[in-house]
A and B are shown apart, each in its own frame.
Chain A
Amino acid sequence: MNVIEMLEGKRVCVCAGSGGVGKTTTSAAIALGMAATGAKVAVVTIDPANRLANALGLERLENEPRRVEPARLQTDGLEVTGELWAMMLDPKRTFDELIDRIAPDPARAEEIKANRVYRELSTAVSGSQELTAIAKLYELDQEHEFDLLVLDTPPSRNALEFLDAPNRINSFLEGRALKAFMKPTGFGFRALGRGAMPLLGGLRRITGIDLITDLTVFFQLLGDMTGDFSQRAAQVERLLRAETTAFLLVTSAAREPIDEAIWFGQRLEADGLPFAGVVVNRVHHDLLGDREPREVRRSLARVLPPGLAVRVAENFRDYHVLARRDDDNLARLTTQLDERRLLLVPQLDDDVHDIEGLLRIHRYLFGSQAERERLIDDLVA
């Protein structure tokens, strides 16, 4: 299977994975490759490397996708018949826009945005990036402008964070039980005044009265909007579960990211989320085959002086430590996962920061099974 087959009939592709595994680059390569098939594709990224952002024409945060000029995509390697669009997500602004959209009037929206609890919620707290990324995805999907949306999930240490974090904020915003307590006419609020209600009395003892007041004001401001948050959360949930959505896991071949990929895959399946496949970056393929390591120096002796040959052989030995490691990790991954849903991108000589670089990856993601096998065979010899 290649990316085209994995994304057959899909309108949304969520690229998830732990930090530092090449998620942003992979998302961009997938979007470019799908645009080359004639589709109108938008890639939503959070924090691309400067040079990649420049390559895509993303000079600044703009909260709407912008078309990557076709001239930038013109290379010998690939004809892009479709359209590639890209945007860099501004989480704070997306959150503000969400408030603007569901607030009953602009004055209320402004009040909420000025509230300290909201300011903390929309910026510093982990989870706000994840929540806003999904909110943006949902909004773009509703607009039906694109054939395919590719979401590069926020950088987190743990891939699962993407699934868990938005729920934490949502459950706070929905906070039905709390809302009942906090309403000025509610039982809890009256009790708080007298300090009789143990729960809120305790809260006050632990947190200080002003925090409670701020929260109360915040929930008063939200008022009926909490219902909208619940409704939205349910809609987003439906989008993520839809048959037209695909989760694609991005990982490197090192042990921990592979473990995380396995957990993530299991979690997706347990939660009934549509799991398309795994892209494994930076794979060190076995170049030695069944030959003995000591043969390496002998084979080099004819073309290199002895001192240099020794160092080249040492380098090769070190490379093969990593090749064996990657082999073991991939074997572990395939016990959990159908091998055909695995796409391997080898360790490249340089990081990818431009369209040329994306093309180098393209072959490994979009080539047919036979083509990809040939590319790997070509590494040897």
Chain B
Amino acid sequence: MSTVLDKRLLFVTGKGGVGKSTVATALGLLAARHGLRTIVAELASQERVQGLFSENGEGERFREMELRPGLFTISIDPQQAMEEYLRVKAGPFGQALGSSRLFQAFAMATPGMRELLSIGKVWELAQLHRRTRGAAPYDLVIVDAPATGHGVGLLRTPRTFAEIARVGPIAHQGQTIAETIADPEFTGVVAVATPEEMPVNETVALADELARDGLPLDLVIVNALYPARFEADEIDELSQALTRTRSALARSALRAALSEHARAATQREQFDRLRDRVDGRFVELPYVFADHVGLAQLEVLAGALEEAAL
């Protein structure tokens, strides 16, 4: 874990529904606990991280917001990022250009431009000398990245643009960002998976794709593992008990126990398959039995991440 938090830019990716935002935020909490000035950046206007911290987190969406001392969040909007970029790079002219509806429509529709602008903003957040006037630097930027398939695309975007544009500012910017992403000291990739068939498949595919691009997969966080409550011989006992009792309550409880055990066993098989297919470091997080994941649960998960590092 220490190595992952030592980076300055961390992409957290995984299949939809595996708890990526939760894990990214728990990593952020842990980093802040260690005294790192940390920001969790969400892409694609999800605003889930803010939601984890407050019931009605309306706030100003596209600004850097401090959730608690040392932990910030921002929801990155490509259009906002473009206006900011133009303002800084091209001054009043850029500002005028950015507010041109035609230019906006063009830029937003250009293939890959939204991704490039988003990742450009992420890159800016991770710089020691921030482009944003008066902005303090961060020790760690954690990106709550899009779902796996699109996530790799996102990492590839700057290089693709550098190649398409060849010369000029975009090529230059794309090249700089691509180099930052390719620097293993600076940038890390964390995959989040639940131990189920599809998330495991996608994690395997992600590891292969990253390897093809020469990027390492630094850590796999296996999320939502059921506890191992029962031994194999106890399962026989539970099944037998089910035939001996007529109490509806006892039967429901026994069935629930057998059912969870079956799911836990499937999870273990899938976890083994993941370990067989992907080289790397694995960290386990427990299933959260709660009506929703709030600060208390995040603290527990951050604690589990911390323990795993020891």
| A299→B253 contact, CB < 8 A | yes
Interface centre among A172, A302, A303, A311 (most CB of B within 10 A): A303
Give the segment of B25-33, B61-69, B134-142, B147-155 that binds chain A: B147-155
| A18→B253 contact, CB < 8 A | no
| B103→A296 contact, CB < 8 A | no
| A157→B46 contact, CB < 8 A | yes
| B248→A381 contact, CB < 8 A | yes
| B17→A20 contact, CB < 8 A | yes
**Residues in B215-255 with C-beta less than 8 Å from chain A:** 229-230, 234, 237-238, 241, 244-245, 247-255
| Complex-state Cα separation, A227 to B86, whole angstroms | 32
Report the minimal beta-carbon distance from A283 to chain B, rounded to whole angstroms: 13
**Residues in A325-356 with C-beta less than 8 Å from chain B:** 325, 328, 347, 349-351, 353
Instruction: State whether A158 and B46 are in contact (beta carbons under 8 Å apart), knowing that A296-B253, A312-B257, A315-B256 are contacts in the complex.
Output: yes
| A206→B16 contact, CB < 8 A | no
Contact partner, A208, options B170, B201, B241, Cβ 8 Å:
B170
Chain A residues positioned under 8 Å from B245 (CB to CB): 299-300, 302-303
| A172→B110 contact, CB < 8 A | yes
Quick one: closest A residue to B18, CB to CB? A20
Instruction: State whether A321 and B291 are in contact (beta carbons under 8 Å apart), knowing that A120-B164, A308-B237 are contacts in the complex.
Output: yes
A199 at the interface (CB under 8 A from B): yes
A196 at the interface (CB under 8 A from B): no
| B89→A126 contact, CB < 8 A | no
Report the minimal beta-carbon distance from B127 to chain A, rounded to whole angstroms: 19
Report the minimal beta-carbon distance from A304 to chain B, rounded to whole angstroms: 5
Report the minimal beta-carbon distance from A368 to chain B, rounded to whole angstroms: 25
B44 at the interface (CB under 8 A from A): yes
A295 at the interface (CB under 8 A from B): yes
Interface string of A197-214 (1 = CB under 8 A from B): 011001111111111001
Interface string of B189-207 (1 = CB under 8 A from A): 0000010111101000000
Report the minimal beta-carbon distance from B7 to chain A, rounded to whole angstroms: 24
| Complex-state Cα separation, A363 to B169, whole angstroms | 59
Report the minimal beta-carbon distance from B270 to chain A, rounded to whole angstroms: 9
Contact partner, B109, options A171, A203, A295, Cβ 8 Å:
A171
**Residues in B41-88 with C-beta less than 8 Å from chain A:** 44, 46, 48, 86
Query: Interface size for chain A: under 10, 10 to 19, 20 to 34, or 35 or more residues?
Result: 35 or more
A19 at the interface (CB under 8 A from B): yes
Chain B residues positioned under 8 Å from A350 (CB to CB): 262-263, 266
Instruction: State whether A304 and B241 are in contact (beta carbons under 8 Å apart), knowing that A203-B103, A208-B165, A351-B196 are contacts in the complex.
Output: yes
| Complex-state Cα separation, A349 to B100, whole angstroms | 55
Chain B residues positioned under 8 Å from A215 (CB to CB): 110
Chain B residues positioned under 8 Å from A379 (CB to CB): 252, 255
Contact partner, A207, options B169, B230, B292, Cβ 8 Å:
B169
| A214→B164 contact, CB < 8 A | yes
| Complex-state Cα separation, A288 to B112, whole angstroms | 52
Chain B residues positioned under 8 Å from A121 (CB to CB): 111
A155 at the interface (CB under 8 A from B): yes
| A124→B153 contact, CB < 8 A | yes
Contact partner, B16, options A19, A116, A125, A199, Cβ 8 Å:
A19
Chain B residues positioned under 8 Å from A318 (CB to CB): 289
Interface string of B149-175 (1 = CB under 8 A from A): 110010011001000111111110000
B8 at the interface (CB under 8 A from A): no
Report the minimal beta-carbon distance from A165 to chain B, rounded to whole angstroms: 11
Chain A residues positioned under 8 Å from B115 (CB to CB): 125-126
Chain B residues within CB distance 8 Å of chain A = 15-18, 44, 46, 48, 86, 89-90, 93-94, 97, 100, 102-103, 105-106, 108-112, 114-115, 146-147, 149-150, 153, 156-157, 160, 164-171, 194, 196-199, 201, 229-230, 234, 237-238, 241, 244-245, 247-260, 262-263, 266, 289-292
Q: List 28 A-B contacts (CB under 8 A).
A: A19-B15, A124-B153, A124-B157, A125-B111, A125-B115, A126-B153, A168-B109, A171-B109, A172-B110, A199-B103, A206-B89, A207-B170, A208-B169, A208-B171, A210-B164, A255-B291, A287-B255, A287-B256, A291-B249, A296-B249, A299-B250, A300-B241, A302-B250, A315-B256, A318-B289, A328-B291, A350-B266, A351-B197
Known contacts A287-B256, A316-B253, then 4 further A-B pairs from the complex at CB < 8 Å, ordered by chain A residue: A124-B160, A171-B109, A314-B229, A380-B248
